[in-house]
Amino acid sequence: MSRARGYSLAILLGLATFASADDGRLPDRPITAEDRDHWAFHPVKKVAPPTVVQAEWTRNPIDAFILTALESNGLKPAPEAGRATLFRRLSFDLTGLPPSPDAVDAFLRDRSPDAYEKLVDRLLASPQYGIRQAQHWLDLARYADTDGFEFDQARPDAWRFRDWVVNALNADMPYDRFVRLQLAGDELAPDDPSAFIATGFNRCYPDMVDLNDQKLRRQNALNDITETTGLVFLGLTIGCARCHDHKFDPIRQADFYRLQAFFAGSRFRDDFPLASPARRKTHEAALSAWRARVARVQSAILRIEQPVRDQIAPGLPMGALDDAVAAFNRPEAKRTPAEVATVYGLLHHDGRIREAQWPKLLEAESFARRAALLAELDRAVRSAPRPLPVARGIDEAGTEAPPTRFLRRGELRTPGPTVAPAVPAVLASTVLPLRIEHLADSSGRRRALAAWLTQPQHPLIARVMVNRLWQSHFGRGLVATSSDFGRIGDEPSHPELLDWLAAELVARGWSLKAMHRLIVTSAAYRQSSRPRTSAAREADPDNRLLAGQNRRRLDGETIRDAMLAASGRINLALGGPGVFPPLPPELTKLSSKGAIWPVSPRGADRCRRSLYVFVRRNLRYPFFEAFDRPDTNASCPQRPVTTIAPQALSLLNSPLSAEAAHALAARIKGEAGPDVDSRIESAYLLTLARRPDAEEKALARRFLASGSSLADLCLALMNLNEFVYID
């Protein structure tokens, strides 16, 4: 056998790519008509809802598409779910919280024809809507409050991006602007601090801050930003082309680096002041005056000390940097406040003269004057203007971006030719051309990318987003692989419906709330999730055709919020830094000083909604981890749903469950009084949003009569499948 045949195909392809790039040319294979002939690369079609036989079932155009697929397969939709079930489903889907008993009773009593639609509108208008929907977006953005890797350092201001997402969704910011601000907020609205906060989307990557090679650190960040942009907005696995041409999709390695070139001029900032230009100007003036005041006192101290230093310890201590030497050699009258501070700091840390020696080295009058000046300096330092709040994000320092190099095999140490910013070639002919215009302080590249991406005729941007919304309400997208619309991703189960929804998103002003309302008011959404008929299970095992709603398990954050809400302890405040609820005792030993997870001292903070729990990459909150919380090192389009023993153990034995059960029992005693039946009914309403039937009530009576406490009953109810699943 020849030696070449011993290589794998992947290695041979890699060697071929490397060789073709060595001659200074990009290894760009042409994009063919066959490459472009994939459903996701075609323009969104204008589709009219089909005509159906069972038209009385439909409530809006969505249902015509669903019913057509069912009828063509000889299937029928499931009956509508009960009103209490629908309220609970809606409440969790839109706000992530269970409905209160009073709200359930009011809805059940409201027999007006539009009672359901009014309920939808109330939930969409709730501030808690933004909290629930933000979690889906933060999963995509790989949001965390720490860097990850070995030291996992905290990011003190990362939470501002999380709050920006919540506020934008609550305000129903049009989705096209929502996207544009996250990609290029600093270029679109340079005088708006919140627009800079939006660019924090690009700073959510894990970061090895102590990496010896800082160029490699920056390249790793750019790779992550490029890959995440492709996954989240385009629904394409562009990151697979970092080292070689994509093996399945028509995305070339050069396309990866051309897309990366849009971000080449990015300056990664952690110190952007969150204030208006006028406020920043005032702050800078106050800061300048303060620095001058401090410098005057420091200079006066140095003048008193200088004769002694010239005799005993002339010059600067060993190891002073060139800029410090230049400042020292400059006449005192010509030093800037920063130079005065540099010289003062070096001399006052000079070990050649210790502080205890000064009483003997100076005359009494000079020493007294020096002591008075030191006290004045202390007062001056403590009077520093309060710093402006700052945010993490990206901006640019100038109009010219550094060159982006094609990296052979994706390695920084093997750079190839320079590439210009460009969109993936397979999409270049489907929408309007890209236009890049320099701005006053930036290259304008990201603004151009954002404008290209959010064109109404773009084949992917609207399709990808409406598919994510559908997934949030049915547990599965019309395209099951919601961040992979490529060739090895799933085909859409209802392609015409997907295109109709995408067109509707644009037609409705890119309003996400309008699309949520459209989906949840459909008859398809309102179907029962009870077991389907045997014919439906045989014809459609995975329920892709939706002959019934899918039963879905709550995620860990929502289960915790449901426990806090039922027990009456939940704190519904919005915004602010992350909070630290208690950890299991065995994890508190990770740090003797509690630095890894410093439990929040205020009880109200420990009961904040789960979105506000501090997200540490290297120590996920254990309850969330048991229920499949993603690790935040990569964009997560859909959380896995596992069934494992730690889930049952956490629900039954964790301190969180025990505290919730006791608090719920105390609440019931206070609200329902001493009557046993009233307490049982209240327990069911608060946990399951319904009243118990006769058999359940009798079973609960026997349970309590056997010596079990009301808290035991509450714990049992919070361990039911019905508590952790949406019917």
* pLDDT of 2: 37
Same-domain check for residues 376 and 408: no
Read off the pLDDT band of 24 (50, 70, 90): low
**Whether residue 334 sits in one domain with residue 419:** no
374 & 340 share domain: yes
pLDDT at 353 exceeding the cut of 70: yes
Provide the pLDDT confidence category of residue 342 given band limits of 50, 70 and 90: very high
Spell out the residues 6+ positions from residue 538 whose beta carbon is closer than 8 angstroms to its own: none
Burial class of residue 111, CB neighbours in 10 A (0-12, 13-18, 19+): exposed
Residue 206, pLDDT > 80, answer yes
Kindly tell me the burial class for residue 128, based on how many C-beta atoms sit within 10 Å of its own C-beta (0-12, 13-18, 19 or more): buried
If you average pLDDT over residues 482-503, what whole number do you get? 97
Phi, psi of 563 (to 5 degrees): -65, -45
Contact by Cβ (8 Å): 515, 497: no
Of the listed ranges 82-91, 201-210, 324-333, the one predicted with least confidence: 324-333
d(CA 345, CA 329): 15
Angle at 268 between CA 262 and CA 272, to 5 degrees: 120
Are 344 and 424 in a shared domain?
A: no
Q: What is the pLDDT of residues 573-584, one digit of tens each?
A: 999 999 999 998
pLDDT for the residue numbered 594: 60
Q: How far apart are CA 233 and CA 12, in angstroms?
A: 33
* The one-letter amino acid at 548: G
**Local confidence band at 369 (pLDDT 50, 70, 90 cut-offs):** very high
The answer to the question of residue 208 being in a domain is yes
DSSP at 608? B
pLDDT confidence tier of residue 11, bands split at 50, 70 and 90: very low
Distance CA 98, CA 562 (A): 6
In a domain, 155, yes or no: no
Indicate whether 393 belongs to any domain: no
Residue 306: count of CB within 10 angstroms of its CB:
13
Q: Looking at the structure, tell me whether residues 186 and 263 fall in a common domain.
A: yes
Average pLDDT of the chain is 93
SS (H, E, C) 615-683: CCCCCCCHHHHHCCCCCCCCCCCCCCCCCCHHHHHHHHHCHHHHHHHHHHHHHHHHHHCCCHHHHHHHH
Q: Which of 349, 382, 415 is the last residue of a domain?
A: 382
The pLDDT tens digits of the residues spanning 532-545 come to: 888 888 899 999 99
Q: 157 pLDDT exceeds 50? A: yes
Q: How many domains does the chain have?
A: 3
194 and 256 part of one domain? yes
The domain boundary, picked from 410, 432, 456, lies at: 456
Q: How confident is the model at residue 29 (pLDDT cuts 50, 70, 90)?
A: confident
pLDDT tens, residue by residue, 170-203: 999 999 999 999 999 999 999 899 999 999 999 9
The predicted model gives 423-436 an average pLDDT of 84
For the segment 54-73, what is each residue's pLDDT rounded down to a tens digit?
899 999 999 999 999 999 99
pLDDT of residue 371: 95
Q: In the block, which residue shows the tokens 């329920």?
A: 543
In this structure, are 282 and 376 located in the same domain?
A: yes
Q: Are residues 202 and 256 in the same domain?
A: yes
pLDDT at 21 over 70: no
Q: How confident is the model at residue 515 (pLDDT cuts 50, 70, 90)?
A: very high
Q: How far apart are CA 472 and CA 398, in angstroms?
A: 41
pTM over 0.85, yes/no: yes
Contact 58, 64 (CB under 8 A): yes
| pLDDT > 60? residue 627 | yes
Mean pLDDT, range 276-294, rounded to an integer: 92
The pLDDT assigned to 596 comes to: 82
Which residue in 306, 304, 308, 355 sits closest to 328, CA to CA? 306
pLDDT of residue 591: 59
Residues 408 and 367 in one domain: no
Separation between Cα atoms, residue 418 and residue 192, nearest integer Å: 34
String of b and e for 391-410 (b: at least 16 CB within 10 Å)?
bbbbbbeeeebeebbbbbbb
> Are 261 and 214 in a shared domain?
yes
Q: What angle do CA 70, 72, 74 make, to 5 degrees?
A: 70
User: DSSP label at 331?
Assistant: -
**How far, in Å, are 305, 316, 323, 325, 345 from residue 353 at the CA level?**
11, 12, 23, 19, 13
DSSP lists the bridge partners of residue 418 as 405
Predicted confidence at residue 14, as pLDDT, reads 42
**SS3 of residue 173 by DSSP:** coil
Instruction: Report DSSP letters for 239-301, one per residue.
Output: GGGSSSS-SSSS--HHHHHHHHGGGTTEEEEEEEE-S-HHHHHHHHHHHHHHHHHHHHHHHHH
pLDDT tens digits for range 288-320: 999 999 999 999 999 999 999 999 999 988 878
| End-of-domain residue from the set 382, 409, 433 | 382
Q: Is 339 within a domain?
A: yes
- Backbone φ and ψ of 395, nearest 5°: -145, -165
pLDDT at residue 9, rounded to an integer: 41
Tokens matching residue 337: 């406040």
Q: Positive or negative CA dihedral for 410, 411, 412, 413?
A: negative
In a domain, 307, yes or no: yes
Is 345 domain-assigned? yes
Position 256 scores a pLDDT of 97
244 plus 193 within the same structural domain? yes
Q: What distance in Å separates the CA atoms of residue 135 and residue 557, rounded to the nearest whole number?
A: 9
| 45 touches 499 (CB < 8 A) | yes
Q: How far apart are CA 578 and CA 156, in angstroms?
A: 9
Q: Helix 127-141 crosses helix 83-95 at what angle (to 10 degrees)? A: 60
pLDDT band at 693 (very low <50, low <70, confident <90, very high): very high
Both 438 and 353 in one domain: the answer is no
Evaluate whether residue 262 is within a structural domain: yes
CA–CA separation, 419 and 204 (whole Å):
26
Domain holding 452, by residue range, is: 174-270+400-456
**Per-residue pLDDT, 73:** 93
**Average pLDDT for 122-140:** 98
Token couple for 271: 């110190």
The distance from CA 611 to its chain's CA centroid, rounded to whole angstroms, is: 10
Rounded average pLDDT over 321-333:
89
pLDDT of residue 324: 86
- Cα distances (angstroms) measured from residue 25 to each of 107, 251, 254, 407, 426: 68, 17, 11, 12, 20
Distance CA 647, CA 629 (A): 12
Residue-wise pLDDT tens digits, 702-715? 999 999 999 999 99
Please report whether residue 104 resides in a domain: no
CA proximity to 560, closest of 540, 529, 534, 582:
582
